[in-house]
Structure 1
Amino acid sequence: MGWVSTDNEHEGWAACVAPDGRLSASSSGEGMLFRGISGRYKRDKMMPDYEVVPDAEIVGWRGQCVCGWQGEMWERVISRADADFNHRRDYVSPEDSAHASLKVEDAIHDEWKAHIGPSEALLGVEAAAREYNQAGHRLDKTVAAAKAAGASWADIGRAVGISRQSAHERWADKQ
């Protein structure tokens, strides 16, 4: 499962980690798919530039984003007794699919959201700036219409919440 930012510039997921440190791109019925050929694992039939690493050999998980960001490592441990969420250690049975547990995936998702936080916040700034500019243009047009209808600079200033002189200085040359 992956996540996409509001601006579609970031796509993140909980990637499995191979023993050599590579991060998974996907999975198949035979194991996890990793780009690159180490010669240690068999090649995927559908994607010849990928190797299939058996689920039992996955050593952990980390967040990954298409922009290149990577989260911190979550270690896969070999017994339930060794699992310690506070120390980024989780147990997934070697007989099961090597995907991160829901708890680890949620933690990785939170890390990824912190990674994209600044760009998500900027989207709000950009939207507010667009609205501000649109409102400014609308105000300029309505002031011109009010002046054309006979309103005084004092009336316009009072409507906007500024002085007569400030209204005149701001809009007189836009007539």
Structure 2
Amino acid sequence: MGWVSNDNEHEGWAAPVAPDGRTAASSTSEGMLVEGLTGRYKADTTLPDYEIVPDKEISGWRGACTCGWRGELWERVSSPTAADFSRRREYLAPTEFADASTQVEDAIHDEWKTHLAPLEAVAGVKAAAREYTQAGQRLDKTVAAAKAAGASWSDIGRAVGISRQSAHERWADKQ
């Protein structure tokens, strides 16, 4: 299961990690699909550039995003007694499908949201700047229309909250 950012520019997920560090983005009934051919694992028949890493060999999980961001590793440990959530260690039996537990997936989701926070804040700045530019263009057009209709620079300045002279200096050459 993945997550999509508010601007639909990023998709994140809890990616299973192969022993060599490669991350999986999908799976089959035989294991996790990992991009790249090493010859160590069976090649996938439908995706020729992917290998199938058996679930029992998945060494952990990390956050992944379509932008290339990767979170810190959550290690898969071999016994329940070695599990320690505070140390990013999670037990999963070798016979289990290699998806992260709900608890680990929720923690990875939180990490992914932290990764997105600055990007989403900048997206807000970008949207505000676009609105500011559009408002400025709208103001220029309505000032020109008011002047064409016979309004004085004093009337226009008063409507905008500036002096007659400032209004003239700002818009006189745009007529």
Same fold by TM-score, threshold 0.5 exceeded? yes
| Partner in structure 1 of residue 81 of structure 2 | 81
Aligned match of 1:115: 115
Q: Distance between the aligned counterparts of 2:76 and 2:107, measured in 1?
A: 15
- State the partner residue of 1:31: 31
Which residue in the other structure is 2:97 paired with? 97
Offset of 1:54 from its aligned partner?
1.6
Distance 2:167 2:34 in 1: 65
Cα distance between partner residues in 2 of 1:154 and 1:48: 73
Q: CA deviation at 1:16?
A: 0.7
CA 1:76–1:168: 2 relative to 1, 3 Å: same
SS in 1 for 2:24: coil
CA distance in 2, matches of 1:10, 1:79: 35
Aligned counterpart, 1:147: 147
Tell me the TM-score normalised to structure 1 length: 0.88
Query: What is the rounded CA distance, in whole Å, between the counterparts of 1:141 and 1:50 in structure 2?
Result: 57
Identity %: 74
Runs of at least 5 residues in structure 1 that lack an aligned partner in the other structure: none
Partner secondary structure for residue 110 of structure 1 = helix
Q: How far does residue 46 in structure 1 lie from its aligned partner after superposition?
A: 2.3
1:108-136 per-position Cα deviation (integer Å, ceiling 9, x unaligned): 12222222333322222221111111111
> 1:24 and 1:155, CA in 2 relative to 1: closer, same or farther beyond 3 A?
same
Task: Count matched residues.
Answer: 175
Deviation of the 1:76 alpha carbon: 1.0
**2:64 is equivalent to residue 64 of structure 1:** yes
Q: Identify the residue that residue 169 of structure 2 maps to in structure 1.
A: 169
Q: Equivalents in 1 of 2:33, 2:40: separation in Å?
A: 13
Partner of 2:47, secondary structure, is: coil
What is the TM-score with the length of structure 2 in the denominator? 0.88
User: What is the alpha-carbon distance in structure 2 between the residues aligned to residue 6 and residue 63 of structure 1?
Assistant: 18
Task: Tell me how far apart the structure 1 counterparts of residues 139 and 100 of structure 2 sit (CA, whole Å).
Answer: 54
